[in-house]
Amino acid sequence: MLNALRPFIARLLTPVGQALAHTPVTPNAITITGTAGVVAGALWLFPTGHLFAGTVVCTVFVLADMLDGALARVKGTSGAWGAFLDSTLDRIGDAAVFAGLAIWLARTGQGVLAGVALFCLVVGGLVSYAKARAEGLGLRCDVGIAERSERLVIALVSAGLSGLGVPYVLAVGLWVLAALSAVTFGQRVLAVRMATGPAAGVPQAGEGSRPGEPGPPAGGTG
């Protein structure tokens, strides 16, 4: 849903990218720095109960990390390696946020919520994996009500408000996020199923070979 804002954010960040293009800073350096900042903030401040400070640090570095794309476009250095690095490090940053929250919840005796945070971590990874695997098979899988941007907003806003003393907001945010993440994963699995089902003319299990495996000889049934 928040992906609709990407064109606006890109236009907003373009002048910053143009300014950075005259410096030795590279898009990959921004990607690595942004992830390092998120990981440091999440795994240092969240487990020690500094939820608001951790949210501020993570948010600043998440926003800074958005500059890598703008700088790559200006410099004309966009490529497969940069896209791979950005996507991979995003997973690390996301995992750090939920791991940090889970550690703090466990340390404060909130075992059930700690489990919910870990559930959000695992299912969030599955949501991203489902899309990546589908695209690796040449299928579109950009459906879902809670993509990465939405999941991060819900998690960080809930943590930040909890750090300011708002009661129950973190619990509500994590439970809602767990439900939305599970639904999103289901939506993506269903989307791939529909794209590869009998109506799509794609062989099913037992009817053909797996991707990358040889099929039966031409004109035969195996």
pLDDT score of 205 = 46
One DSSP character per residue, 34-87 reads HHHHHHHHHHHTTTTT-HHHHHHHHHHHHHHHTHHHHHHHHHT---HHHHHHHH
Domain assignments of the chain as residue spans, ordered by start = 2-195
Q: Which of 42, 43, 93, 84 is nearest to 65 (CA)?
A: 93
CATH value of 2-195 in 1.20.120.1760, 1.10.260.40, 1.10.10.10, 1.10.3720.10: 1.20.120.1760
Q: Among residues of the chain, what percentage have pLDDT more than 90?
A: 55
Lowest-confidence region among 11-20, 32-41, 126-135, 210-219: 210-219
- Here the tokens at position 38 are 């998120």
Lowest-confidence region among 30-34, 35-39, 145-149, 206-210: 206-210
- Residue 60 pLDDT greater than 50, yes or no: yes
Backbone angles phi, psi at 104, to 5 degrees: -65, -45
Give mean pLDDT, residues 137-156.
90
**Alpha carbon of 2 to those of 5, 29, 133, 175: distances in Å?**
6, 25, 22, 20
- Here the tokens at position 133 are 């695997």
* Residue 94 designated active-site: no
Q: pLDDT of 83-120, one tens digit each? A: 888 889 999 999 999 999 999 999 999 999 999 999 99
* Active-site position among 65, 68, 86, 90: 90
Report d(CA 111, CA 202) in Å as an integer: 45
pLDDT score of 20 = 77
**In whole angstroms, what separates CA 195 from the centre of its chain?**
23
pLDDT score of 218 = 39
Angle at 97 between CA 93 and CA 101, to 5 degrees: 165
**182 vs 200 pLDDT, higher one:** 182
Lowest-confidence region among 160-164, 194-198, 199-203: 199-203
Give mean pLDDT, residues 39-66.
93
Question: 47: Cβ–Cβ under 8 A, 6 or more apart, which residues?
Answer: 100, 103, 104, 107
Q: pLDDT of 160-194, one tens digit each? A: 999 999 999 999 999 999 999 999 999 999 999 99
Report d(CA 136, CA 130) in Å as an integer: 10
- Residue 66 pLDDT greater than 90, yes or no: no
